[in-house]
Chain A
Amino acid sequence: MGAGVNHLLTVNRVGIEKEKLTKISNVLTDARSIRIKGRSFLALMLSPELPLDEWLARLDDLAGRSAGFFLERPIVLDVAELDIDRHQLKGLLDELARRNVRVMGIEGGRPSLFEPGMPPAMRGGRPAPDIEVPAAEPVATAAETAPAVRREPQAAKALSSMIVREPVRSGQSIIFPEGDVTVIGSVASGAEIIAGGSVHIYGTLRGRALAGSVGNAGARIFCRRLEAELLAIDGVYKTAEDMAPDLRGQAVQLWLENDSIKAERLN
């Protein structure tokens, strides 16, 4: 990444899905109905902060270092945490438009904020991991435009993983900072799995599982049966006492969301 301060805006990706609808009209002159198909895009989410002019200055700074990052990308504005009125929102949209940031929807806004002509209100977006805004090459000139700095997917690198084919016994410690650990068997009380990536346990997890141990908030923990003593992802941990009792004994996956561990049953 480029030198200097790296302002990271909260840029979330939001999957936007239109539901499949079938429009039915009262006057059916044509038997065919109009079919509307769903399609989902990844939108970037911008969460402006007050005071707006300072936030816009930071946005300019980011855009300056990463020219064209916002061009041609669907942008959703998150105003849930923003205490502004309709007039201010209109002003903000104009400011963004002057910067070629085209807002396709607004999330978290009160109905009174909206007026005709504004991007529509959106809800039900699903959070996706943070995106780091790539910095332009330090030597890049203004002439170099969008295509040069378009974020390319990183070259596919085969992530390493480790497979443990037998139960992990009490007192044993499997440490694998390089990637995922898969255990075909159970992890006993008093045993621990420490993985740089995700932890997969095809058995009962009775001991400890620490995923994303070297700093990886996207790591997850999966197990056939949860009886764990301790769970940790990216340094955020939960002991058995803090876990929801209804997850005990269930097939569960756990991930990190806003620095807290979330869990859901797998079926």
Chain B
Amino acid sequence: MAKVVVVTSGKGGVGKTTSSAALGAALAQRNEKTVVVDFDVGLRNLDLVMGAERRVVYDLVNVIQGDAKLTQAVIRDKRLDTLYLLPASQTRDKDSLTPEGVERVMNELKEQFDWIICDSPAGIERGATLAMRHADVAVVVTNPEVSSVRDSDRIIGLLDAKTEKAERGERMEKHLLLTRYDPARAERGDMLKVDDVLEILSIPLLGIVPESMDVLKASNIGAPVTLADSRSAPALAYLDAARRLAGETVPMTIPGEKRGIFGKIFGRRAA
């Protein structure tokens, strides 16, 4: 049974696209057929981060408007044959996405893939609401600072109101992915603490990804960070997050802290 995951945040620049690519690659590495869909029509980036920008012929809008078949638009990754990308259109805007069109594409994708990762655009408008509309699970990407946390809170409210699952009266499964976490700044009190973010958002923690140059390096070479250097700290965090997303129990580690404290936080939040 296919699982649709939306990677969303409200605020821009917190790491949705990086996280979509990294989680998508990590799930594909588990030998599960995964497609990452770029919903950021007009500002597409996912193709760059996944290193497929020179192979884009058709895109999501072409499929929605019936100009291309899904099989023509979906690009298979050169490094992992279980990883696919459905790019967004750069020349159109979000109004090209229709609810019926998105629904049709999602249903088609569900027949072919185990995981469908929807990379949401920033904001709370059409692009973002259509990206979350058909999701079974939401990954809320948040940086440990107040504006990002408040925007994430707003998005969580929308996930509970504007998705198909919510309209059917079911509960949307939501996970927090804390990104760009800087242990040194957290130590100095320049950033919100993990506990504070969890207390405000009150959704379970999927993972904590440290701020790292490895993320930037991976984007520049066009590889999801989990493929670029699977031993780097952010890659390890994403790989663990993907395992948790797949239902495994993996102890949580907070970058820069001793193990005991992690276990405590994870244990409490999982309860």
Which residues of chain A from 156 to 175 have a CB within 8 Å of any chain B CB? Answer: 166-172
A172 touches B157 (CB 8 A): yes
Chain A residues within an 8 Å CB radius of B156: 169
Residue among A166, A169, A186, A204 making CB contact with B154, cutoff 8 Å? A169
Q: Provided the pairs A169-B157, A170-B157, A171-B157 are in contact, do residues A185 and B150 lie with their beta carbons within 8 angstroms?
A: no
A190 touches B202 (CB 8 A): no
Interface check A188, CB cutoff 8 A? yes
Interface check B77, CB cutoff 8 A? no
Interface check A182, CB cutoff 8 A? no
A170 touches B153 (CB 8 A): yes
A204 to B200, CA, bound (A): 9
Chain B residues within an 8 Å CB radius of A185: 202
Residue among A166, A167, A168, A170 making CB contact with B150, cutoff 8 Å? A170
Query: How far apart are B102's CB and chain A's nearest CB, in angstroms?
Result: 23
A169, A185, A204 — most chain B CB neighbours (10 Å):
A169
Chain B residues within an 8 Å CB radius of A171: 124, 153-154, 157-158
A186 to B201, CA, bound (A): 9
B150 touches A186 (CB 8 A): no
Chain B residue at smallest Cβ distance from A227: B200
A94 to B154, CA, bound (A): 66
A206 touches B200 (CB 8 A): yes
B146, B153, B158 — most chain A CB neighbours (10 Å):
B153
A60 to B156, CA, bound (A): 62
Contact with A along B138-163 (1 / 0, CB 8 A): 00000000100011011011101000
Interface check A253, CB cutoff 8 A? no
Q: Is the interface of B mostly helix, strand, loop or mixed?
A: helix
Interface check A198, CB cutoff 8 A? no
B124, B160, B202 — most chain A CB neighbours (10 Å):
B202
A167 to B202, CA, bound (A): 8
Interface check A189, CB cutoff 8 A? yes
Interface magnitude class on chain B: 10 to 19
Q: Provided the pairs A169-B154, A170-B151, A170-B153 are in contact, do residues A188 and B200 lie with their beta carbons within 8 angstroms?
A: yes
A206 to B154, CA, bound (A): 13
Which residues of chain A from 201 to 244 have a CB within 8 Å of any chain B CB? Answer: 204, 206
Query: How far apart are B193's CB and chain A's nearest CB, in angstroms?
Result: 15
B200 touches A190 (CB 8 A): no
A206 to B153, CA, bound (A): 12
Query: How far apart are A170's CB and chain B's nearest CB, in angstroms?
Result: 4
A264 to B116, CA, bound (A): 52
A172 to B150, CA, bound (A): 12
Chain A residue at smallest Cβ distance from B151: A170
A189 touches B202 (CB 8 A): no
Q: Provided the pairs A188-B153, A189-B150, A189-B153 are in contact, do residues A169 and B200 lie with their beta carbons within 8 angstroms?
A: no
Query: How far apart are B269's CB and chain A's nearest CB, in angstroms?
Result: 15
B154 touches A170 (CB 8 A): yes
Q: Provided the pairs A185-B202, A186-B202, A188-B200 are in contact, do residues A169 and B160 lie with their beta carbons within 8 angstroms?
A: yes
A172 to B160, CA, bound (A): 11
Query: How far apart are B115's CB and chain A's nearest CB, in angstroms?
Result: 27
A188 to B146, CA, bound (A): 12
A206 to B236, CA, bound (A): 35
Chain B residues within an 8 Å CB radius of A167: 202
Query: How far apart are B172's CB and chain A's nearest CB, in angstroms?
Result: 12
A49 to B157, CA, bound (A): 55
Chain A residues within an 8 Å CB radius of B160: 166, 169
A166, A167, A168, A186 — most chain B CB neighbours (10 Å):
A167
A206 to B150, CA, bound (A): 11
Q: List 5 A-B contacts (CB under 8 A).
A: A166-B160, A169-B160, A170-B153, A170-B154, A206-B200
Among all A-B residue pairs, the 3 with the closest Cβ atoms: A169-B157, A170-B153, A170-B154
A residues near B (Cβ < 8 Å) are 166-172, 185-186, 188-191, 204, 206
B residues near A (Cβ < 8 Å) are 124, 146, 150-151, 153-154, 156-158, 160, 199-200, 202
Knowing that A171-B124, A186-B202, A190-B150 are A-B contacts, what are 13 other residue pairs whose CB atoms are under 8 Å apart, sorted by A's residue number? A166-B160, A169-B154, A169-B160, A170-B151, A170-B153, A170-B157, A186-B200, A188-B150, A189-B150, A189-B153, A190-B153, A191-B153, A204-B199
